[in-house]
Structures are given as C-alpha cells and as structure tokens.
Amino acid sequence: MNVQYMTSSELKSRAKDLLDGRFGSAMLILFLGNLLPRALTVMLNGFFSSFRGLLALSPIALMVLSLFLNAIVALFTKMFSAGYALFFLNMACRRTCEVGNLFYGFKWQFKKCLTLSGFFAAALFILQLPYSVCFGISQQTRNINWLMGALLTASAALILDILLLLVFSQCFYLMLDFPDYSAKQLLRGSAQVMKGHMGRLFYLWMSFIPLLLLAVLTCGIGMLWLNPYIQMTCTCFFLDLMNPRKEPVETGTFV
C-alpha cells in the first residue's frame, strides 16, 4: 500500500470545511487564550516599569530580566496549547467542543502540561539569552561590534526556535492520544513522527504569510478569522500525519 499525505491546499480546504458554521466558537476560544496572557504581560510590564528606576540595573541586567519575564508569559501561554489541541481535535472529529476545553492543561494532566510548557519556555530563554546579553552590552558600550553580534545571535535564535517548534510541534496533540505517556516520551514521540515532515509543516506555515500581511492591514481584526483557520489546518496536519490515506500499489500485468 502506498501512503499518500494531503497537500497544503488540501489541508486548508479541509480546515475550511470543518470550520464552516463553527467559526464563532473557534474565534472565542482563541481570543480568550490570547487575552489572558496579554493581561499577564501588562501586569508584569507594569510591575517591571514601577521598580525599574529603583533597581538601577545595567542595560544587560535589564535585558536579561525582560527576557525572564517573557519566558514566564511564554510558560503561561503554552499551557493553553493543550486546550487548543483538544478543542480543535474535537471539532475536526465532529465531537462536542466547548470553551471549557481551553483550560484542559490547567485542570487535567497539569504536571505534564507544565513540564512541556516549561521546556518551551526554557528553550526560549536559552536561545534568546545570547542576543539579550549582546544587545545589553551594545547599549552600555555603544560598540557597533556588539550590535552586530546581537543581530547575528538574534538570527541564529530565530532559526533554532523554528526548528525546535517544528520538531516538537505535535507533543500536545500526542498527549491527548497517548495520555499515559510522560512529557519526555511525548517530546520524543513528536520528534519521531515529524521525521521527514518538517519541510511539509514549514511550507504550510509559510503559506499563511500573505494572509497574515492582509490581517495586519486590517489593524489585526483579520486575525480573529485567520487564527482559527491556521489552528484547524495544523490540526488537520496532525490527523493526516497519524492516519494518512493508503492507496493500493499498481502492479504490472504479465501475459
């Protein structure tokens, strides 16, 4: 049997069909999932701004502290990934989906979700730390070489971050299919199922860039529609990855 995976256009078409008539609830869960971390960001930034003058920190320390606060927000934000996965998998499989799914990672398998989220937050902190240090030194010394170093380390961090997100992109979906797996097994499982498919997923992500640019032109309002579309397409990618179409192998006829 030949294994046939869906193309990007087929995945997008499938996502549109699944969202037909259900965009409202999909928009709501993603809106709430983005609103709560934004509120946390505002609180942390307000706290940081209030004590920034009193702390009298160097530019390097300020950059590292800011990066640490961003990692905390990333930890909280990533916890919602399990809820997104559950909601959109339920929708894709024609099961009951509700806004309460958003808090799955906080109510069920909390320790495992926290470990996975902590892994991504720690990776974000480690990858961006060299940039923060280089940029902080450039601010303090006004040395162009350190600024160039900041640009180079930022570029390297971006590339490594994309690779990390591709490799471990399926761990929260897998957690729902294999609830007995540990966080380590889920990360390893995601890396295994993504072998040979990272290019497909990267191309799928990049194909949304034109729509992202259009959404920016609408002052971000278009993201209310685009975010569910992207999330459902990625969900369809997971379902196709785990259960691709199988077609019989054509054999020659011997006379």
CA 8 from chain centre, in angstroms, equals: 18
Residue 107 falls within a domain, yes or no?
yes
> What pLDDT, on a 0 to 100 scale, did the predictor assign at position 58?
74
Residue 252 falls within a domain, yes or no?
no
φ, ψ of residue 245 in degrees (nearest 5): -70, 145
Residue 137 falls within a domain, yes or no?
yes
> What pLDDT, on a 0 to 100 scale, did the predictor assign at position 111?
92
Residue 11 falls within a domain, yes or no?
yes
Residue 237 and residue 49: Cα distance in Å, rounded? 42
> What pLDDT, on a 0 to 100 scale, did the predictor assign at position 250?
55
> What pLDDT, on a 0 to 100 scale, did the predictor assign at position 43?
78
Residue 229 and residue 43: Cα distance in Å, rounded? 30
Please answer whether residues 83 and 170 qualify as being in contact, where contact means their C-beta atoms are separated by less than 8 angstroms: no
Residue 111 falls within a domain, yes or no?
yes
- pTM score of the predicted model: 0.87
> What pLDDT, on a 0 to 100 scale, did the predictor assign at position 249?
52
> What pLDDT, on a 0 to 100 scale, did the predictor assign at position 84?
94
- The residue with tokens 């570029």 is 155
pLDDT along the chain (255 residues), means of 10: 86 93 88 82 72 68 83 88 94 88 90 94 93 88 88 94 95 94 95 94 95 88 90 95 73 44
Three-state secondary structure along the chain?
A: CEEECCCHHHHHHHHHHHHCCCHHHHHHHHHHHHHHHHHHHHHHHHHHHHHHHHHCCCHHHHHHHHHHHHHHHHHHHHCHHHHHHHHHHHHHCCCCCCHHHHHHHHHCCHHHHHHHHHHHHHHHHHHHHHHHHHHHHHHHHCCHHHHHHHHHHHHHHHHHHHHHHHHCCCHHHHHHHCCCCCHHHHHHHHHHHCCCCHHHHHHHHHCCHHHHHHHHHCCCCCHHHHHHHHHHHHHHHHHHHHCCEEECCCCCCCC
Residue 254 falls within a domain, yes or no?
no
Residue 132 falls within a domain, yes or no?
yes
Residue range of the domain that includes 131: 2-247
Domain count, the chain: 1
> What pLDDT, on a 0 to 100 scale, did the predictor assign at position 255?
37
CA 3 from chain centre, in angstroms, equals: 27
